[in-house]
Amino acid sequence: MLGAAASLYVWALRDLPRDLREALAGALERETSVTGIRVLETIHRNVEVADTERNLVCQDTGIAVYYCRVGERFPLHPAGIERALKAGTERATVEHPLRSNTVHTLTRESTGANVGYRVPIVHWEFVPGWDGLDVKCVPKGSGSENMSFLKMLVPADGVNGIKRFVLESIVEAGGKPCPPGIVGIGIGGSADYALHLAKEAIARPIGTRNPDPLVAQLEDELYGLLNETGIGPMGLGGDVTVLQCHIEHADTHMTLNPVAVNYQCWAARRTSAHIGADGAVDYDRDF
- How many CB atoms lie under 10 A from the CB of residue 287? 14
Crossing angle (nearest 10°) for helices 158-173 and 213-227: 40
Round to whole Å and give the CA distance between 142 and 261: 15
Task: Say if residue 287's pLDDT is above 60.
Answer: no
Per-residue pLDDT reduced to its tens digit, 79-114: 999 999 999 999 999 999 999 999 999 999 999 999
Cβ neighbours of residue 219 closer than 8 Å, sequence gap 6 or more: 209, 210, 245, 246, 247
| Confidence check: pLDDT of 1 > 90 | no
Contact 105, 161 (CB under 8 A): no
The predicted pLDDT at position 127 comes to: 97
Average pLDDT, the chain: 96
**What is the rounded distance in angstroms from the CA atom of residue 210 to the CA atom of residue 223?**
13
User: Distances in Å between the alpha carbon of 35 and those of 24, 228, 240, 241?
Assistant: 15, 17, 12, 13
- With b for 16 or more beta-carbon neighbours within 10 A and e for fewer, the 119-157 pattern comes to bbebeeeeeeeeebbbbbbbbbbebbbebbbbbebeeeb
Q: What's the confidence (pLDDT) of residue 285?
A: 67
Indicate whether this model's pTM tops 0.85: yes
- Model confidence at 38, pLDDT cuts 50, 70, 90, reads very high
- How big is the CA angle at 269 (ends 265 and 274), to the nearest 5 degrees? 150
Reading phi first (left if > 0) and then psi (alpha if -120 to 50, else beta), residue 114 is in left
Q: Is the peptide bond before 120 cis (omega within 30 degrees of 0)?
A: yes
Helix, strand or coil for residue 114?
Answer: coil
Q: What is the pLDDT of residues 127-178, one digit of tens each?
A: 999 999 999 999 999 999 999 999 999 999 999 999 999 999 999 999 999 9
211-223 pLDDT, tens digit per residue, is 999 999 999 999 9
Residue 60 pLDDT exceeds 80: yes
> What per-residue confidence (pLDDT) applies to 195?
97
For every residue of 80-101, DSSP letters joined together read HHHHHHHHHHHHHHHHTT----
Q: Among 47, 53, 7, which residue's Cα sits nearest to residue 24?
A: 47
Q: What's the rounded mean pLDDT across residues 184-207?
A: 96
Q: 151 and 164 in contact (C-beta within 8 Å)? A: no
